[in-house]
Chains A and B, each alone.
Chain A
């Protein structure tokens, strides 16, 4: 157990180090000069050069990288090239927004997938199982932004039940917060739920074929109680893996959904940063996203051990 923890931690740290180099390197080769974008269409070469100096873009890449990483490790995200504002507080602000969206979507996805997937597996030869299966297939095919647009058309524009866009922090107006969160979280969550359903189904199917479940059935337990008592925990292992991996997909989906619903989250910050070549901002945001994904996967690894005692045996 301890060994596994150490091993996983080393993997996490190495991945973080490698990603930081990659993020920095990719953005360094991105075409487009931040100073030129900041100064606009008629800027003189002198002014551009001066601004590049102010941004520190004239220093060697290695120096820029070391300074950037050093700052990050001390919690200093630097100052935006374009807005001249501190990046750290902005990311913190936006991260909360995206976290609400992603976590709510994840909960919705689980609420949809766990029962639907189990029913699909348990009744995989019955009509109801097949119907659900077909429905989830449709869900898999629909991208989150399209689901978002459809939900807006129906619930905001036609019916007028929920707002089509906007964001209010929960502390400011909890009711408005929930109203505005509903549609974007649903459009992400439903699509993600459809994907997850298929994993739940196959995980439960695998478990159904296990000897111990057959034994349980033989002893007279009906299918669902048997699953509930002996199977679900085992089925949870592969599902948790997928859930961890899906966080990355969900974050990417959130970038697009934030645009459709005009939500000031990390996604819109990232897109604005890219288009205005606010490189430091982009580096920071991408790095925050990378850290979030890696840390969640790390936690998922630990969760396996909790769920599956067989993994606890030291190798």
Chain B
């Protein structure tokens, strides 16, 4: 009977080999795909139990993990929660993560490939793996100034501020109001998290939307900067002293519609200088210029400033648009588009990029919020290198546009942003949407003082201010000014 027994021994060997090979397959080959499957509580738990890295602003944490006594070992905390929520995002057991918590998750959780050596060292020394930290580009003073500026308009105010360094694209301030408290979503009391989530997502004011990158609204007269740029670039107007058509209304032959000026006034004559037209935000002049430039060239100019692209990495963002793709605009629509109405929609960040491009000699830099990424031992793993998005206009055109923006501050609609002894250029905007809601107040500006530069866009969607008081210069201008002052340190 020994022969069958030997055969059985071989059969048993095959069975055990099959088990061992299969175990290798599941635990080694298939492990990664299993770990990334939805509903894998082990991976969520593990991530939650890890000493997650901090998100820092000027060396101080705006998101950090502190030890907790429950089963998850660590609790995510957000000091200054509402101020930095649009940047940090939330880190929730049930609802996942957003913004920098999401895009930098590999580093923060410590699973990034660049932290491989750290993980091995931790494994050998039997230490809990620790995440790396992320330093944001935000200037805390500017962030604070922007937030306080919006708050001064009242609790009901909805709006956003985006400020960037024109030379690098580094985001210096990014504020949205109303904001939310990510601590509520990071709580380990899941019933409370559920309730908070329900309340936040059900809120008509959408506090979890980052208005400066996600909400696209008609930019109104601030879009005239782009129309002006296109006019100069395409030779429609050559100098800022050239005369352009003005008056009180723009007629479109063959159409019943006429384009009026804001408040129905005259721009100061039937022919004024190009510079003056921007200073007083003359709709008739820029509507007419748009017709002369043509849809194609105007759209191309907007695209060069970043319209139609996802402008920022590391945050959720909506692309701004000049018009819906594949649409041919009728002359009245093109005229309206030239002054930032009709179908034009932009985010505050996009408008800040326009001002920044003009301030930076026509070069638009790609905005970014992640300055440096560090390992747990503070070794720098990555430092964002500024990257040029495009050359929007020539440096000559940029210089002319700056001159026009500066004179708008000194003698035009944007006087509220004057800072003594500092070069400040700006453009206001009061955009109409539907008749039943108040217009949006915009303010797009830049400032240069010595080795410091900043470009700011402010949007006030609604506030406690009376309707006829709403104007970009009055409402949004002071906020932009305070942000610029904070950055310049003056």
The answer to whether A and B assemble together is no
By a beta-carbon cutoff of 8 Å, the part of chain A in contact with chain B is none
By a beta-carbon cutoff of 8 Å, the part of chain B in contact with chain A is none
